[in-house]
Structure formats: C-alpha cells, structure tokens
Amino acid sequence: MKKSFLYMSLWGLLLLGSCTKDFDKINTDPTQASPDQFDANYFLSSSQRNYASGISGYAGPILFQSGWVQIFSMATVNGDYYTNADKYVESSNTNSYVQSSWNNCYRSGSLANEILVNHKDDADWVNINAAATIMKVLNAQYITDIYGDCPYTEAYKAKEGITLPVYDKQQALYTALLSDLDAALTSMDASKPKPTADISSLGGDVAKWKRFGYSLMLRLAMRLTKADAATAKTWAEKAAAGGTLASGEDVYFKNDEGNGYSNPNVSAWLVATDFYQVRWSKTMIDYLKAADDPRLSIVAEVPATGLANNNNQALAGDNTASEQIGQPNGYDLIPASAKNITTAPGYPGTSPADPAITGDVAAAVGKYSRPRKSVYGERSKPLFILTYAESELLLAEAAARGYSVGATASQHYKNAVSGALQALAVYGSTAVISAADADAYATAHPLDVSSTEKSIEMISTQYWATTGLVWNFAESWSNWRRTDYPKLTPVNYTGNFSGGAIPRRQPYPSGESSNNRENYQTAVSGLSGGDNWTSRIWWDK
C-alpha cells in the first residue's frame, strides 16, 4: 500500500514537471491578445468614451448645470430628476449623479495613463503619449472644476501601493496640469506615428491634436484670471503663440448608436417624460431673439398642439424664429402648486388638444420652445468637447485684458461668432449656416469695446450661449462662475439644496468620506463652507 502511494506520488510529480514546462502554452488563450501584442492605442478611444460618459447624460450635466445656468428649463412634477437642475431640489438619484462625473473621468484618466505606463520611454509613441496626456489633463480639469481639490499627482498609482491618494490643492493642480500639458505639446513630432484609435473629429492628425492641446491650455489659463492673473496671462500668451484651433476645427467625439455608442445627452433627453418637460430657458431664447441670432430658428421649435403631439418625437415643430418662447426657470407641473407653470409671468397659455386625436388633452408647456428634434434628436449625434469658437472667445477676452494673443479682441470675437454659427452644421443639413452668412452676421454684430468690462460681458455671454447650444453644459457653468456673466436670477424653490443660490460646485462622492477619509477631510477643510453645493473652489472668486 505504501509502495503504491509512493509510485502514485512520483507519477504526479513527473506530470507536474511536464505540465510546468509547457505551462504558458497550455494556459494561454489563443483567441486573446497577450500584453506584448495589445495595441495600447485602443486605450485612447476607451479613454475618450469614458470622458464622454463623465461630462454628459446621467453623469450629471444635463441634470444639473443645464438648468443651473438657465440653458434649459424644466417644469417638473414631484421627484423628477430634472428638479436637480431647474430648481436645485434633490431627487431619489441625486447622490448617484453627484459621483458619476468623478468615477467616469477617473476611469478615463486611468485608461489614458495606461498608455504612458506602457510606452513612456518609447520614442515612436511621443504623439500617442501626448494625446494620452491631453486626455489626462482634460479629465483632471473637469474633475477639479466640478468638485475642487482632487487627486492627481498620486492618482493612478495603485500598482505602486498608493490606494489612498492625497487631494492636490487646486492651485498646485492647475500648475501641474499646465506644466504636463506644455511638456506633452512640445514633445509632439509629426514625423512619428500618429494615434490610430482616435474617435474624435481630430482623426489622429498630430497637428490638430497639438492645436487642440494649446486651446485646452488657453482654457486652463483663463480659468485663473481672478485667482492668479499673472499666471493666466503667461500661459494664455504661451497658448496663443503655440497655435490654437483653426477655423472649422471643432473638437467632438463621434457616436455610433448602431454599435451601442450613443450620445448620453441625447439618450437622456429622448426619454418620453423628459422629451416633454425639457424646454429652452427664457434666458436663452430672449438672448437669441434680442441679438437676432440666426441660430434661433435652427435650435428651437414649438411643438404641434396637444399633449400627444408634444410627446410625438417623430413630429417636427414650428421653428419660425418669431414664434419661439423660452420657458422661465423654477416652475412645476404640480396641480394647485404656487409655482405651477400656468402662474408664470407671460404664460402663453396651454397648447390645446388636437381634435383629430381621440382622447388628446391640452399640454401645459406645449407653447414653449424645445430643442429642435431634427437637429439634436439622434443618438449618433456628436458630443462637443471644445470648439474653435470657444477658443476664439477666450482669445478675445485675453486680448481685452491686454494680453498679447496675436489679434485684437474685436477680431477674435468676430472669428468666434462666425465659428459658433458654423459649428452647428455637424448636427446635419438642417443646422447649416453658410460661411458667408455667418461672417455677415458677425460683421454686423461687433464686440462692444467701450470698456474692458463691457467687452468681457459680451464675450462671456456669447461663450455661455455658444457652449450651451452645443450642450456642453458644465463648460457654460464653469465660465459663468468665473466671469459672473450672463447675469442670472437664481431660483428659490421650496426644499432646494443650495439656499436659493445657484450651485457653485458639486459635493464629493459620498464614498470618499469613508474610503479615503483623511485626505477627503483635508480637502473639505479648505472649503470655506464645507462639502456643499455653494462653497467656492479656489479659482471661483
């Protein structure tokens, strides 16, 4: 018995030795790429997709900032998640929305960082590494602008044993972002391979990526105009000298609904209840009307009469400019409510039921303008990141402040207005404004240069409209916080979470207070009002 056991044991050891010799071959899935075979370019497209998820849809901006800065208006009922935006009132999922930008943008930054980890010292990867760094910076700026101090220098270092990263102070973080971006842009080399998995409108073009990077540098710099004017000037001038986005170079991420990659903003809007409730704010429509802006008839429409037609996503509305009416912010659809939309000043009346539809009823918000379905209403529509018009508006402001950025404030503003009108063409044929018409409008509506403040007000308000009309809601909000333009009247709806003030930041995700408690507490101690909606981050003076 003992001999049998010994022989079996020896046979097992021989088998083990045999298996060990061919272990890698036996245990390697031939259908999967090994690390040395994997093309890290694909981390770039994954990073881009996660960034898109972080800045749009249910990650927060359409449910928060779109209403905070009065781009959209939503007459809601109790518990609707759009109460977070229009009335600063929590819904059942507010905590989820609060943390989604944080989680998705850190996921995006992590994917970009993997490119750098795998190819940091590879000379042939300088352009892909630079694009990865741009993505890291893009994510970090978004996170810090939304929340305040956040991990950066110790982020993405779990492999090194750092699982509880410190929160960088925003001032130091901005310094690091500008420095990292500068190093990446100066390293780019058109003779080296370009990114091959780029889902943006840049298409892997190295020169375009470089100009995008310098426009991002410009945006970073201009955030600092109140917090650190000298640094803002230095880096804005460096960005202008490096070469920002050229005419027609709007940066957006492409979407492909057929393969499961939809525009998160559009997907959120096309939910049946939301499609009915979401309207253009009175603030936005009044601005476009006062300026005789040709974008008005492109972006807005009044639905056909009755509730059924208002909810019919296949039925176009009336886009005649003179017929557009913006909905005031802060009202609801709750019967007998003191803030029922029917009590709003200038209420245009209900949209009467369509007699041709059996059982149809009147639509309370039916006469207010909604986003035009033929322009915005397909899930494959692009998601805008940073446009030529935004870049030129920032250059216009820089010039108005006396920075040396290559042209006058008036010329940059003219470029921006024309570019903003033409940018909508990417939404389809119904959104096209010709270059000639755009230039003519820009010439007829020049910058007010009677004073620096008047120029900044006009530039900043145009920036709000330009970013808002391409649904880049958080950027509209961030620039509004920095400049205080346009002048907005806050909503003070019963039960709101910000004391009747327009929110200045989002609270940190709830998990941070328990998972990274010490560093979280240090960050919160730097906020004058604590971890709430109205505390101001460092650059928001």
DSSP element (H, E) containing 241: helix 229-242
Is residue 348 over pLDDT 70?
yes
CA 119 and chain centroid, separation: 28
Q: Span 404-431, mean pLDDT?
A: 98
pLDDT at 59: 87
Report whether 138 contacts 216 (CB < 8 A): yes
Residue 211 burial by CB count (10 A; 0-12/13-18/19+): exposed, middle or buried? buried
Residue with tokens 């709430």: 532
What are the phi and psi torsion angles at 448 (to 5°)? -80, 110
Answer yes or no: are the C-beta atoms of 231 and 173 closer than 8 Å.
no
Supply angle C-alpha 119, 125, 128, rounded to 5: 100
How many CB atoms are closer than 10 A to CB 452? 13
Identity of the amino acid at 182? D
Distances (CA, A) of 74 to 27, 37, 195, 322, 353: 56, 50, 41, 22, 21
The per-residue pLDDT for 235 is: 98
Q: Is the pLDDT of residue 502 over 90?
A: yes
What integer pLDDT is reported at residue 11 of this predicted model? 36
Kindly state the average pLDDT of the residues 392-415: 98
Residue 401 in this model has a pLDDT that exceeds 70: yes
What pLDDT is stored for residue 18 in this prediction?
39
pLDDT for the residue 285: 98
pLDDT confidence of residue 27: 47
Residue 35 has what pLDDT? 55
Q: 85-110: per-residue pLDDT in tens?
A: 999 999 989 999 999 999 999 999 99
CA atoms within 13 A on the CB side of 524: 17
The pTM is what? 0.93
Summarize pLDDT for 227-238 with one digit per residue, the tens: 999 999 999 999
Question: Average of pLDDT values for 204-221?
Answer: 98
The amino acid that residue 503 corresponds to is P
- Rounded CA-CA distance 93/57 in Å is 13
Q: Which two tokens stand for residue 83?
A: 């109460």
Q: Give the whole-number percent of the chain exceeding pLDDT 70.
A: 93
What mean pLDDT do residues 363-391 have? 98
- What was the pLDDT predicted at 37? 64
Average pLDDT over residues 25-34: 52
- Specify burial of residue 207 (Cβ count, 10 A radius: 0-12, 13-18, 19+): middle
Residue 310 to residue 305: CA distance in whole angstroms: 7
Q: How confident is the model at residue 32 (pLDDT cuts 50, 70, 90)?
A: low
Cβ–Cβ contacts within 10 Å for residue 322, how many? 8
Residue 36 pLDDT grade (very low, low, confident, very high; cuts 50, 70, 90): low
Q: What's the confidence (pLDDT) of residue 24?
A: 46
CA dist 259 to 371, 376, 379, Å?
25, 19, 11
Which class for 53: exposed (0-12), middle (13-18), buried (19 or more C-beta within 10 A)?
Answer: buried
**Domain residue spans of the chain:** 41-263+381-525, 271-376
Mean pLDDT of 252-256: 96
Average pLDDT over residues 201-218: 98
Q: Which residue has the higher pLDDT, 93 or 18?
A: 93
What does the pLDDT read at residue 79? Answer: 76
Instruction: Phi first, then psi: give them for residue 279, nearest 5 degrees.
Output: -130, 160
Under 8 Å between Cβ of 242 and 221: no
CATH of domain 41-263+381-525: 1.25.40.390
Residue 487, CB-side half-sphere exposure with 13 Å CA sphere: 2
> CB-based contacts of 315: which residues, under 8 Å, 6+ apart?
303, 304, 309
**Dist CA 42 CA 196 (whole Å):** 8
Tokens of 144: 């810090």
pLDDT, tens digit, for every residue of 140-153? 999 999 999 999 99
- How many of the other CB atoms lie within 10 Å of CB of 250? 26
> Phi and psi at residue 539, in whole multiples of 5°?
-80, -10
478 or 15: which leads in pLDDT = 478
In the three-class reduction of DSSP (H, G, I as helix; E, B as strand; rest coil), residue 301 is classed as strand
pLDDT given at position 60: 85
pLDDT score recorded for residue 16? 37
Provide the β-strand partners of residue 168.
Answer: 150
CA atoms of 282 and 73, how far apart (whole Å): 8
- pLDDT tens, residue by residue, 117-126: 999 889 999 9
d(CA 131, CA 44): 8
What are the two backbone dihedrals, phi and then psi, of residue 363, each rounded to the nearest 5 degrees? Answer: -110, 115
In this structure, what is the dihedral angle of CA atoms 115, 119, 120, 124, given to the nearest 10 degrees? Answer: -120
Angle between helices 206-222 and 126-147 (to 10 degrees): 30
